Amino acid sequence: MGEKMNLSGILVLVPPKKTQSTIDLLRTLPGLQVHHQDPQTGRVVVVQEAESTGAEIDGLKRIQALPNVRSAAMVYHYFEDEDEILAGTLPELDKAETSKNNRVPPFLVQ
């Protein structure tokens, strides 16, 4: 059995004045990288890498439990099995219409 990769994009919302202190805490958690921050709105985007879906959920719960975190939501999840990569893309994924599903929700656009 091949190695698996679990990546999740997580949107974290905090009070704007607590953005930097929350980022400092996020950076102490294993498998997390802060990719974007907006101190004016308190939005922070992190990418989490985990060995399993369960570990991914545990990581999300750790973020949600941090002080000042108003909300932390997994907005993207990617699961890859090395064996599937070597075998190629599934035919039904090639035909999938993804462009309409890859839009930013209006409430996230300023």
Query: Position 102: which residue type?
Result: N
**Residues 66-90: pLDDT tens digits?**
999 999 999 988 877 655 544 555 5
Query: Which structural domains are found in the chain, ordered by start?
Result: 4-108 (3.30.70.920)
Q: How far apart are CA 50 and CA 58, in angstroms?
A: 10
pLDDT of 79: 77
**Residues 36-61: pLDDT tens digits?**
999 999 999 999 999 888 888 999 99
Band of residue 99 on the pLDDT scale cut at 50, 70, 90: very low
DSSP code of residue 107? G
Q: How far apart are CA 54 and CA 56, in angstroms?
A: 5
Q: How far apart are CA 30 and CA 49, in angstroms?
A: 9
Q: Is the pTM of this model over 0.75?
A: no
Q: How far apart are CA 50 and CA 59, in angstroms?
A: 8
